[in-house]
């Protein structure tokens, strides 16, 4: 008998049948029944259309179709689960990788987060038994490590900038050098932030050269503030000039206007190496007379996502009293992480305990040794061609764009996979491995890989090195 649309469609299972399969039951537990029912309906619907189209070619049998539907359900669910926030191995050599969560936290910060996850003394004075100031210890440590009179902690540096501008400059003019009207990371654009805060942007100077007199000539009774922005991911070189922070500070003081510097990346330690990165050290900016300075906590500082404003006590307390602060204040768990991170600076262990600083400080000899050891554990005579090569790591996070950080990379080629396919297989590993693609090769830079993550890289590479397994993962 010729199969008809009716006989063909009758072999489709019901939604209930699929939900009673072990995979269906497991996914109902994991993802919620409602979601799984919807997925199964969609998948059965897609099969129904395929059967319509293939009406006279293959009818298939009931069982094979049911298995195919279960398999597709598992795949869709697997993709959904993989789309969440998962731990990944950062083998790119970009230390503050914005897409991979910027700064990895120190062990101390992780412990502090876990401890603060329940009830915590975020706004409670344990000795007095009454309400206390929020995140008091982090504030005290920020004062100590930056030399500022007071500090305020919010969700990120963008929130800090928005708060400062709207409290001190709404409806009034803010002077900004034309060379500092920058875009940082796509959605933080200085002119847009000013506009949204209600401040009026008054551009001074030119793109490459801005003099102190340009600021001075622009000051009027409408002027609320001078804003200096660290250009972060961008450098103007050649015939350039900008006044120093201390020159702008004395000008602002003379005219009684607020001088606010958005420093971006919170460099706390003022070693020569740090200064070579071209990132302003917060203590210096305060010492040079800025009234307020803002910075991110998850860039060079190496802490959780947070933003800080430090500066003159009287100005910081006005920020603290503003209703907008209530909408921007930092969560308890992140405050605990910040506190633990700052403690590492205060007790002098930061260079060893804070991953960003440790990665930045690791020398090429050490990375070469680790890379050699890793390569020696790879399966030989396989599909992989491996060499060590000199390359550059990067600080990332929109910091120090022109400062190459020498490194050694493991450069890999696969005999049958293109570099893009090879990198994709590494991403699809159980513990996703994110590598760099360059010059037809996949590069693994151990600078950003923790030693205890190396075993997972070796296992993944060895799996992809043997012909049969490479095919297996292809199917997934
Ligand atoms: C990174 C950066 C910001 C934004 O900081 P977030 O903490 O990501 O909000 C703002 N200003 C400057 C100068 C920056 O470098």
- Give the per-residue pLDDT at 381: 63
Specify the 3-state DSSP secondary structure of 371: helix
* Predicted confidence (pLDDT) at residue 4 exceeds the cutoff of 70: no
Best residue among 153, 190, 261, 262 to mutate for probing ligand 1's pocket (most ligand atoms within 8 Å of CB) is 262
* Predicted confidence (pLDDT) at residue 15 exceeds the cutoff of 70: yes
User: 10 Å Cβ neighbour count for 171?
Assistant: 10
- Give the per-residue pLDDT at 62: 86
Per-residue pLDDT band at 468 (split at 50, 70, 90): low
Which of 367, 320, 396 lies closest to 133 in space, CA to CA?
Answer: 320
> Which stretch of 11-15, 121-125, 161-165, 399-403 has the lowest confidence by average pLDDT?
399-403
- Give the per-residue pLDDT at 5: 56
Which of 397, 400, 404, 390 lies closest to 443 in space, CA to CA?
Answer: 390
Residue 372 alpha carbon to ligand 1 centre in Å: 37
- Give the per-residue pLDDT at 273: 78
Task: Name the token pair of 164.
Answer: 């400062």
Residue 299 alpha carbon to ligand 1 centre in Å: 9
> Which stretch of 3-7, 11-15, 144-148, 358-362 has the lowest confidence by average pLDDT?
3-7
What distance in Å separates the CA atoms of residue 88 and residue 434, rounded to the nearest whole number? Answer: 7
Entry pTM: 0.92
Best residue among 99, 156, 188 to mutate for probing ligand 1's pocket (most ligand atoms within 8 Å of CB) is 188
Which of 145, 165, 248, 144 lies closest to 154 in space, CA to CA?
Answer: 165
Per-residue pLDDT band at 178 (split at 50, 70, 90): very high
pLDDT in tens, 124-137: 999 999 999 999 99
Q: How many Å separate Cα 223 from the centre of its chain? A: 35
Residue 157 alpha carbon to ligand 1 centre in Å: 5
- To the nearest whole percent, how much of the chain has pLDDT over 70? 94
Residue 111 alpha carbon to ligand 1 centre in Å: 26
- To the nearest whole percent, how much of the chain has pLDDT over 90? 82
Pocket of ligand 1 (CB under 6 A): 156-158, 161, 184, 188, 229-230, 232, 262, 264-265, 296, 307, 398
What distance in Å separates the CA atoms of residue 373 and residue 386, rounded to the nearest whole number? Answer: 13
Burial of residue 112 (CB within 10 Å: 0-12, 13-18, 19+) is: buried
Per-residue pLDDT band at 476 (split at 50, 70, 90): very low
152's CB contacts (< 8 A; 6+ apart) are 139, 160, 163, 308, 309, 310, 316, 319, 320, 325
Report the atom number in ligand 1 closest to the C-alpha of 296.
7
Per-residue pLDDT band at 365 (split at 50, 70, 90): very high
Residue of minimum CA distance from atom 12 in ligand 1: 264
Distances (CA, A) of 468 to 418, 460, 475: 17, 14, 11
Per-residue pLDDT band at 398 (split at 50, 70, 90): confident
What distance in Å separates the CA atoms of residue 4 and residue 430, rounded to the nearest whole number? Answer: 44
Residue 264 alpha carbon to ligand 1 centre in Å: 5
pLDDT in tens, 33-86: 999 999 999 999 999 988 877 654 455 688 889 999 999 999 999 998 889 999
- Give the per-residue pLDDT at 407: 97
Burial of residue 23 (CB within 10 Å: 0-12, 13-18, 19+) is: middle
Burial of residue 344 (CB within 10 Å: 0-12, 13-18, 19+) is: buried
Report the atom number in ligand 1 closest to the C-alpha of 229.
13
Residue 297 alpha carbon to ligand 1 centre in Å: 9
pLDDT in tens, 405-441: 999 999 999 999 999 999 999 999 999 999 999 999 9
Dihedral, CA atoms, 394, 398, 402, 406, nearest 10 degrees?
Answer: -10
- Give the per-residue pLDDT at 473: 47
* Predicted confidence (pLDDT) at residue 471 exceeds the cutoff of 70: no
Best residue among 155, 193, 232 to mutate for probing ligand 1's pocket (most ligand atoms within 8 Å of CB) is 232
Residue 441 alpha carbon to ligand 1 centre in Å: 33
26's CB contacts (< 8 A; 6+ apart) are none
Residue 86 alpha carbon to ligand 1 centre in Å: 24
């Amino acid at each position: 008998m010729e199969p008809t649309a009716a006989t063909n469609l009758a072999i489709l299972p019901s939604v209930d049948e699929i939900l009673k399969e072990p995979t269906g039951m497991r996914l109902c537990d994991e993802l919620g029944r409602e979601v799984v029912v919807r997925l199964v309906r969609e998948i059965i619907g897609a099969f129904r259309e395929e059967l319509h189209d293939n009406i006279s070619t293959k009818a298939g049998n009931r069982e094979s179709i049911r298995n195919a539907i279960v398999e597709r359900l598992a795949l869709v669910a697997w993709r959904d689960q993989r789309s969440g926030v998962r731990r990944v191995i950062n083998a790119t050599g970009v230390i503050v990788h914005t897409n991979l969560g910027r700064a990895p936290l120190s062990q101390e910060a992780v412990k502090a987060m876990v401890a603060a996850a329940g009830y915590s003394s975020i706004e409670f004075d344990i000795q007095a038994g009454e309400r206390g100031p929020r995140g008091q210890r982090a504030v005290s440590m920020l004062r100590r490590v930056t030399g500022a009179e007071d500090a305020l902690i919010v969700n990120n540096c963008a929130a800090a900038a928005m708060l400062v501008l709207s409290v001190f400059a709404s409806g009034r003019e803010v002077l900004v050098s034309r060379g500092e009207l920058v875009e940082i990371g796509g959605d933080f654009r200085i002119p847009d932030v000013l506009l949204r805060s209600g401040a009026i942007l008054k551009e001074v100077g030119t793109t490459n050269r801005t003099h102190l007199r340009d600021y001075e000539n622009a000051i009027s009774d409408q002027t609320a503030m001078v804003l200096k922005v660290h250009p972060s991911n961008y450098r103007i070189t050649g015939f350039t000039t900008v006044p120093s922070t201390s020159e702008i500070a004395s000008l602002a003081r003379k005219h009684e206007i607020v001088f606010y510097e958005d420093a971006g990346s919170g460099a706390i330690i003022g070693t020569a190496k740090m200064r070579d990165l071209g990132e302003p050290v917060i203590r210096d900016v305060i010492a040079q007379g800025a009234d307020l300075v803002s910075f991110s906590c998850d860039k060079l500082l190496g802490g959780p996502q947070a933003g800080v404003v430090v500066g003159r006590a009287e100005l910081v307390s006005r920020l603290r009293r503003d209703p907008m602060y209530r909408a921007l204040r930092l969560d308890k768990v992140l405050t605990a992480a910040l506190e633990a991170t700052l403690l590492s600076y205060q007790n002098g262990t930061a260079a060893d305990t804070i991953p960003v600083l440790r990665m930045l400080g690791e020398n090429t000899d050490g990375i070469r040794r680790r890379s050699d050891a890793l390569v020696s554990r790879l399966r030989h005579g396989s599909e992989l061609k491996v060499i060590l090569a000199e390359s550059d790591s990067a600080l990332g996070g929109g910091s120090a764009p022109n400062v190459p950080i020498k490194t050694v990379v493991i450069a890999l080629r696969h005999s049958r996979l293109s570099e893009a396919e090879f990198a994709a297989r590494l991403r699809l590993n159980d513990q996703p491995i994110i590598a760099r693609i360059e010059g037809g090769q996949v590069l693994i830079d151990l600078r950003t890989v923790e030693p205890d993550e190396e075993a997972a890289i070796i296992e993944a590479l060895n799996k992809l090195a043997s012909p049969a397994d490479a095919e297996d993962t292809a199917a997934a």
